[in-house]
Every structure is written in C-alpha cells, then in structure tokens.
C-alpha cells in the first residue's frame, strides 16, 4: 500500500511537471532533466519494493522453518512424556503387585511365629502334665498304691491338653496341615496351599487358627486375580470369626478386591470402614493410601 501511494504521488508529480511545461514556457532541457530524475526516483522505488518483497519472503521462510522445528520438538517431547508416563504406570502396577505379595509373605511369617509360640505353650503344658504324672506315680509308689492298672483293651488315650484330635483315617495333623499351608503360600505354591488350608478348615474348623486358614484362602484367590472368589473368602472371615485378629486385613483386602472388580463404591465403603474401625494399624495406613490413589479425601481425625 505504501509503495502504491509513492507511485501515485510520483505519477502526479510527473503529470504536474508535464502540465507545467505545457502551460508555461519552460526550457526543454530543464523539463527533460526533471523527467529523467522522476524516472530515476520511480526506478529506485520499484527496486526498493522488490528488495522488500525478497526480504519478506526470506523472513517468511525462516519463520516457517522455525515453526516446523518447534512443532517437531513439541511432538518429540510429547512422545517422550507419554513413554515416561507409561513407564511410571508400569512401575506403580508392578510395585503394587510386589507389595501385595510381600504383605502376604510377611503375614505368613508372622503367623508362623504365632504358631511356634502356640506350640511352645502346648509343649510347656504337656511337660507340666508329665511332671505331675510322675509326681503322682512317685506318691502312689511311696504310699503302696498299685500302679499296674492298664487301660481297657481298645481304649484310646486322650489327646494332650490343648491339642486337636486328628480325625479317624486322616494322617496329617492340624499342625502339619497349617505349617505346610504357610510354607507353600509364602513360596508361591498357591494351588497346593489352597488344598492344605481347605483340609485344615474341613477337619479343624473350630481351632484358634481356623480364621487364619480362611483368610489365606482369600489371599490365594487375590494373588491369582480371582477377585470374586477372594471377596467370598474374606466375607467368611468377617462373618464366621468375629474375634479373629484377621478382621482388619480381611476387610482391607475385600475392599481392594471389589475395586479390582470395578465395584468402586462398595470397595470404598470397605476401605473407609478399615480407617474407622482399626486406627493406628498398618491396614488403616494402606486403606488411606489406596483411597488417596482413587482421589478420595479421608478425614485425618481418628
């Protein structure tokens, strides 16, 4: 637009000069010199316009190149960020799986310790009973009481105090079944452990460790991603063993299994119950962490 105005102005001056030469008598040489100067000015303007167009074209090319380079850089950055995000998600998923496995193993070791303590208590009681029996025999011998009376033929001696009697025809004892189940679940032999804990519940369902065996059936199903079965097994712990110390972990894992099944609202309710009922426990901490991952605020008040 500016160049056009200059050209129009130059043309007007040229026309004025010609008109002036026609109106008033001027020397021919002066008129020719003005015309030549005007032509030179017009030529300079046209050359300047051409140079400006060339510069604008070059600038446009440079800008387009910069934009393309910036676009390529942004695309590469997006690709890198997507890869990093996927890597972080994979690490989180693997960490969650390893955490669940480690939690199961830690619980198994803890229960092994409890079982050892229980066995020591039983052995101590049996030792006390044996000492009492020896003292009674000594007392009878000292008093002349006959001690040769034997039990009737076919009679079964009573089981030691506190020990579960093995069912007829079943060779594994309660301690053997439970210990084997713990050993196999901590080593990842889930199918074998399931069979052993199921047999324990079948034959020794009224013992102190029955709720533990039931809980581990849920843990086995959860580890094998059989979440519906896991929920059913955890429910049995909650309903059949109201005094079990496995109530907190059973409710926690039930909530997590429900979430894995896509039943978010029931799962969140279970996790909130863990926070409410078992403050200060490891289960409460894990429930709060899972709720936070789901973007659900939990009151800090305990």
- Assigned domain for 184 exists: yes
Residue 273 has pLDDT above 80, yes or no: yes
Q: How far apart are CA 279 and CA 163, in angstroms?
A: 35
Q: What is the mean pLDDT of the chain?
A: 76
Q: Where are the alpha helices (DSSP H) in 144-165?
A: none
* Closest residue by Cα to residue 161 from 191, 192, 129: 129
Look at residue 116 and tell me if it is in a domain: no
Q: Is the pLDDT of residue 170 over 90?
A: no
Model confidence at 220, pLDDT cuts 50, 70, 90, reads: very high
Q: Judge whether 123 lies within some domain.
A: no
Q: For residue 226, give the CATH number of its domain.
A: 1.25.40.10
Q: Degrees (nearest 5) of the Cα angle 257, 259, 260? A: 65
Q: Residue 63 has what pLDDT?
A: 77
Q: What is the pLDDT of residue 84?
A: 75
Rounded to the nearest 10 degrees, how much is the dihedral formed by the CA atoms of 221, 226, 230, 232? -130
Same domain? For 68 and 184 the reply is: no
**Rg, C-alpha atoms of the chain:** 47
The per-residue pLDDT for range 234-268, each reduced to its tens digit, is 999 999 999 999 999 999 999 999 999 999 999 99
Which sign, positive or negative, has the C-alpha torsion 102, 108, 114, 116? Answer: negative
Is residue 196 situated within a structural domain? yes
Q: Is residue 89 part of a domain?
A: no
How large is the average pLDDT for residues 219-242? 96
Q: Domains in the chain: how many in total?
A: 2
Same domain, 193 and 301: yes
Residue 238 in any domain: the answer is yes
Same structural domain for residues 76 and 187? no
Whether 217 maps to a domain, the answer reads yes
pLDDT in tens, 196-212: 999 999 999 999 999 99
Looking at the fold, whether 301 and 180 belong to one and the same domain comes out as yes
* pLDDT, tens only, 138-158: 455 555 444 444 444 333 334
Distance of alpha carbon 273 from alpha carbon 258, whole angstroms: 14
Q: At 152, is the secondary structure helix, strand, or coil?
A: coil
Residue where a domain stops, chosen among 82, 109, 140: 82
Would residue 93 count as lying in a domain?
A: no
- Full residue range of the structural domain in which residue 250 is found: 172-302
User: What does the pLDDT look like over 85-100, one tens digit per residue?
Assistant: 777 676 666 655 556 6
Instruction: State whether 186 and 291 are in the same domain.
Output: yes
If asked whether residues 75 and 182 sit together in one domain, one would say: no
Quick check: 198 and 217 in contact, CB under 8 A? yes
The token pair that represents 243 in the structure block: 């005094």
């Amino acid at each position: 637009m500016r160049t056009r105005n200059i050209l129009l102005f130059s043309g007007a001056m040229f026309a004025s000069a010609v008109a002036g030469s026609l109106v008033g008598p001027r020397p021919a040489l002066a008129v020719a010199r003005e015309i030549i100067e005007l032509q030179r000015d017009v030529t300079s303007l046209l050359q300047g316009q051409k140079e400006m167009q060339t510069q604008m074209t070059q600038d446009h090319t440079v800008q387009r190149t910069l934009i393309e380079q910036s676009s390529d850089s942004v695309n590469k950055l997006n690709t890198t960020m997507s890869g990093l995000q996927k890597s972080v998600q994979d690490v989180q998923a693997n960490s969650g799986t390893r955490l669940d496995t480690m939690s199961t193993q830690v619980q198994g070791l803890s229960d092994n310790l409890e079982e050892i303590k229980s066995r020591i208590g039983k052995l101590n009681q049996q030792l006390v009973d044996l000492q009492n029996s020896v003292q009674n025999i000594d007392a009878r011998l000292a008093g002349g009481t006959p001690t040769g009376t034997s039990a009737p033929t076919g009679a079964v001696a009573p089981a030691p105090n506190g020990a579960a009697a093995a069912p007829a025809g079943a060779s594994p004892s309660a301690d053997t079944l439970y210990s084997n189940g713990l050993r196999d679940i901590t080593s990842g032999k889930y199918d074998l452990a399931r069979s052993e804990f199921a047999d324990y519940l079948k034959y020794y369902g009224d013992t102190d460790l029955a709720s533990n065996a039931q809980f581990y059936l849920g843990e086995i199903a959860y580890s094998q991603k059989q979440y519906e079965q896991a929920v059913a097994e955890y429910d049995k712990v909650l309903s059949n063993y109201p005094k079990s110390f496995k109530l907190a972990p059973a409710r926690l894992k039930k909530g997590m299994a429900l979430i894995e099944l896509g039943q978010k609202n029931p799962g969140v309710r279970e996790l909130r119950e863990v926070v409410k009922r078992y403050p200060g426990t490891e289960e409460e901490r894990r429930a709060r962490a899972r709720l936070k991952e789901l973007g659900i605020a939990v009151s800090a008040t305990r």
